[in-house]
Amino acid sequence: MIKWKYWLTIAGWKTNSWFQSTGMSRIPLFGSIWFGFKRLTARWLSSGRGVPVLLDGEPINIHPFAIAYGIKSWEPYTTKLFKNALKPGSTVLDIGAHHGYFSLLAAQCVGKEGMVYAFEPAPKNFDILKKNAELNNFNNLISVNKAVSNNCTTVPFYFRQVTGVVGSLFPTQKSNEMTIPVECITIDSFPCRKPVDVVKMDIEGSEPLALEGMAETLAQSKNMVLFVEFNGYCLRQAGVNQETYLAQLDKAGFDCQVINEEMGCLEPIEPDLASCNLYCTKKDTTK
């Protein structure tokens, strides 16, 4: 492992954080020069085998812009449950893949006989996701530059800055918000080779739409496991309340529990649920 790349990336990450905190990166000319320098440096560091890190204890290579995954534990209890749900040969959907943390974990665990489909509509995030798959020669990881919804169409994708890491199919009404057109697909229309075993979904309030567009896929597996985000603010932006979202999951045949990251346990869903991840398993219909 080329450790000097890791330490150089960490030094660059800390330097960038300092520039951001001082406001110097917002100075028009200086900010443009700094942004260009970061891009050139990242391209250099990601050449060859990329930046070596340990991803949940396993060695892997990443694009330097994905370094956050290599410097701290990322949703450790969700990660534990996610890895436990994966088996050699599993088919996995990572919807809202970002830079590919869960996609990379899944590709490692399911092996050559398995398949991971990673959906990410934001162009910059998608470029890094695709690069991360290439750096590790994961032929079982297919990156898809589309949003997942309930219709196959093209819609605006909202974010605050073109290099931002968070975006949504719904406007936030915040300052500096901009849009780009993105292509949407439904999971039911997507050609998966085998029935889906595990789904991880974090798409900033669009989860109900995506669930609507994968009704047939959800019904095909008796043992599917879902890891879905519950974000009250984003759901409200999408015009959906907590009860409607949870009822949708229940109707689809899932029992849901709250993943408590702090305590490292599963808990029942309570009224006025805070932002969290949900662990959803198929109901036992034999009872």
Q: Name the nearest CA neighbour of 59 among 138, 136, 142.
A: 136
Query: pLDDT confidence of 245, banded at 50, 70, 90?
Result: very high
Euclidean distance between CA atoms 217 and 184, whole angstroms = 17
Higher-scoring residue by pLDDT: 73, 66 = 66
In the chain, where are the structural domains located? 73-147+191-282
Share of the chain above pLDDT 70, in %: 95
Three-class secondary structure of residue 272 per DSSP: coil
Average pLDDT of span 213-230: 94
Nearest to 190, CA basis, from 228, 152, 233, 225: 152
Average pLDDT of the segment spanning 158-181: 75
Query: pTM of the full predicted structure?
Result: 0.92
DSSP 130-179: HHHHHHTT-TTEEEE-SEE-SSSSEEEEEESSTT-S--BSS----TT-EE
DSSP summary character for residue 37: H
Let me know: does 204 contact 166? Beta carbons within 8 Å.
yes
For residues 122 and 114, the answer to whether their CB atoms sit within 8 Å is no
Highest mean predicted confidence (pLDDT) among 68-72, 91-95, 123-127, 172-176: 91-95
What pLDDT band is residue 274 in, cutting at 50, 70 and 90? confident
Distance CA 182, CA 167 (A): 11
Q: Residues 26-52: pLDDT tens digits?
A: 788 888 888 888 889 998 999 888 999
Judged against a pLDDT cut of 60, whether residue 1 lies above it is answered with no
Mean pLDDT of 61-83: 92
Q: Is the pLDDT of residue 163 over 60?
A: no
CB atoms within 10 A of CB 36: 10
Assigned CATH for 73-147+191-282: 3.40.50.150
Q: pLDDT at position 120, please? A: 96
Average the pLDDT over 251-271 and give the result: 94
178 band by pLDDT with thresholds 50, 70 and 90: confident
- Write out pLDDT tens, residues 187-212: 999 998 789 999 999 998 899 999 99
> What residues have CB less than 8 Å from 224, skipping those under 6 apart?
196, 197, 198, 199, 218, 282
Is the pLDDT at 226 greater than 90? The verdict is yes
Burial environment of residue 10 by CB neighbours within 10 A (0 to 12, 13 to 18, 19 or more): middle
